[in-house]
Amino acid sequence: MTVNRALFDEVMVPNYSPSAVIPVRGQGSRVWDQSGREFVDFAGGIAVNCLGHCHPALVNALKEQGEKIWHLSNVMTNEPALRLAKKLVDATFADKVYFANSGAEANEAALKLARRWALDNFGAHKSQIIAFNKGFHGRTFFTVTVGGQAAYSDGFGPKPGDVYHVDYNDLSAVEALISDNTCAVMMEPLQGEGGIVSPEAEFVKGVRELCDKHNALLIFDEVQTGVGRTGELYAYQGVGVTPDILTSAKALGGGFPIGAMLTTTAIAQHLKVGTHGSTYGGNPLACAVAEAAFDTVNTPEVLDGVKAKAELFKSLLNDINTKYNVFSEIRGKGLLIGAVVSDAYKGKAKDFLTTGIEEGVMSLVAGADVVRFTPSLVIPEADIREGMARFEKAVAKVVAAN
């Protein structure tokens, strides 16, 4: 069988439009395609590959668990799930953990829990959910509705109701909308898909206070920011505000699909037996790999290293920008970095991505105007410099073609 990009068009549903490049092997922050061409990976599978490709700790965990037990369903529990849950609880505000397969599923669980908590404690009137324009929380119908991008949620029929959106960092808009009918406010502690937008300190603090005033839950979607991405284990620890519910996925498994919802005992009790579930949630293979990823990331060396690598990344991007003047701002936190294109390149962020592939470097976009970088948290300095040298060549080509 010939496996190439044309086969995708033949056999796959056309909701994706992947590159012609088909990677077949990865090691650390380098990837090789079918023809043996090498790429420096600054994309990290969209903030998933927190330890790069084929990290020994993750490979060993998968091999060891693969020789033990693969799947049980939640009729029974398993040792890797219990160990991972204990470590998550010990390292965060949370008392209880629910495992799923993805960020969308973790967010779906968080939203269902918030609605059930409000119904049990206050009654059916308390169902309003407030979220933020340009937010992103997944692709289930509930989560894509709560995400503040109509392009993703329109066209599928009637949407789940009582969901409202305001602008991120606009505390007065939240204050004007929130009431005793609000059951939850859901937000990213740094908007990812919406353009790598950091929250103002007073905004996050103010949202927490408004939630407390109106007996509403604060849900932090840390699917992209969690597990070391910002230089903290979870981003909430760096903004000084503790949510009531937190969701985690992407980097949690280092590339193996897993999601988690974390919350307190008092809130968790409202998901009684039978109210929610997941066939694969808490799968032993996933939890074993995630435990190895968690143990590796949750160290001062790695977390402090993220902050140091972020400074180098931003410095090199600024050096490129000094030469070519293509970005209006370099923003983000830790190794979740956004380069905002200048007016001359507005709407053309993807040009930098596609030209980067030609030059042997993988990056991402966050909307039409932001080039996004989410590399391995342990990427060596040499790979950062080599990848940026390749990215500079891509920038030069885009400038020449513009």
Indicate if 225 and 281 belong to the same structural domain: yes
Indicate if 279 and 318 belong to the same structural domain: no
Which of 250, 309, 351, 383 is labelled catalytic?
250
Which of 132, 136, 142, 313 is labelled catalytic?
136
| Residue 402 in this model has a pLDDT that exceeds 90 | no
Domain count, the chain: 2
Which of 39, 134, 221, 294 is labelled catalytic?
221
Q: State yes or no: is 304 an active-site residue.
A: no
Mean residue pLDDT of the chain comes to 97
Return binding residues.
Answer: 103-104, 136, 139, 221-224, 278-279
Q: Collapsing DSSP states into helix, strand and coil, what is residue 324?
A: helix
Asked which of 242, 263, 297 is the last residue of a domain, the reply is 297
pLDDT digits (tens, 9 = 90+) for 313-325: 999 999 999 999 9
| Residue 178 in this model has a pLDDT that exceeds 90 | yes
Domain of 28, in residue numbers: 5-54+300-401
Asked which of 282, 297, 312 is the last residue of a domain, the reply is 297
Give percent of the chain with pLDDT exceeding 70: 100
Indicate if 19 and 65 belong to the same structural domain: no
277-282 mean pLDDT: 95
Return binding residues for N(2)-acetyl-L-ornithine.
Answer: 139, 278
DSSP string, 71-91: ---TTS--HHHHHHHHHHHHH
Indicate if 329 and 388 belong to the same structural domain: yes
Give the pLDDT of residue 32: 98
pLDDT digits (tens, 9 = 90+) for 194-230: 999 999 999 999 999 999 999 999 999 999 999 999 9
Q: State yes or no: is 250 an active-site residue.
A: yes
* Number of Cα atoms under 13 Å in the Cβ half of residue 185: 32
Give percent of the chain with pLDDT exceeding 90: 98
Indicate if 195 and 326 belong to the same structural domain: no
User: Closest by alpha carbon to 360, among 24, 42, 16, 15?
Assistant: 42
What CA dihedral angle connects 150, 271, 124 and 141, to 10 degrees? Answer: 20
143-151 mean pLDDT: 93
Q: The domain that contains 308 carries what CATH number?
A: 3.90.1150.10
Q: State yes or no: is 120 an active-site residue.
A: no
pLDDT range class, residue 363, cuts 50, 70, 90:
very high
| Residue 8 in this model has a pLDDT that exceeds 90 | yes
Distance CA 147, CA 116 (A): 20
| Residue 283 in this model has a pLDDT that exceeds 90 | yes
26-37 mean pLDDT: 97
Q: The domain that contains 195 carries what CATH number?
A: 3.40.640.10
Return binding residues for pyridoxal 5'-phosphate.
Answer: 103-104, 136, 221-224, 279
Distance CA 400, CA 402 (A): 6
pLDDT digits (tens, 9 = 90+) for 60-118: 999 999 999 999 999 999 999 999 999 999 999 999 999 999 999 999 999 999 999 99
293-318 mean pLDDT: 97
